[in-house]
């Protein structure tokens, strides 16, 4: 159960980071946003798999 909570927390943090990056587009490259977006996708998929198992 704590693993699910950790994944939820990580998803929330990654979403927050993406929003921050989106508002700072002058200071970042689109590559960084793509990397964070992909990381978020991977964490969400991992979370969904764990939810299906439980």
pLDDT of amino acid 17: 87
Q: Taking the complete model, does pTM exceed 0.75, yes or no?
A: no
pLDDT of amino acid 45: 92
- The answer to whether 11 and 36 have CB atoms below 8 angstroms apart is no
1-54 confidence digits (pLDDT tens): 578 888 889 888 988 888 887 777 666 667 777 888 899 999 999 988 988 887
Can you tell me the distance from the alpha carbon of 45 to that of 38, in angstroms, rounded to the nearest whole number?
A: 11
pLDDT of amino acid 38: 92
For the record, the structure tokens of 23 come out as 């508002």
Can you tell me the distance from the alpha carbon of 54 to that of 19, in angstroms, rounded to the nearest whole number?
A: 30
């Amino acid at each position: 159960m704590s693993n699910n909570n950790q994944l939820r927390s990580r998803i929330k943090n990654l979403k927050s980071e993406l929003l921050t990056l989106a508002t700072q587009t002058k200071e970042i490259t689109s590559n960084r946003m793509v990397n964070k977006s992909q990381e978020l996708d991977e964490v969400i998929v991992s979370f969904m798999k764990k939810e299906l198992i439980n």
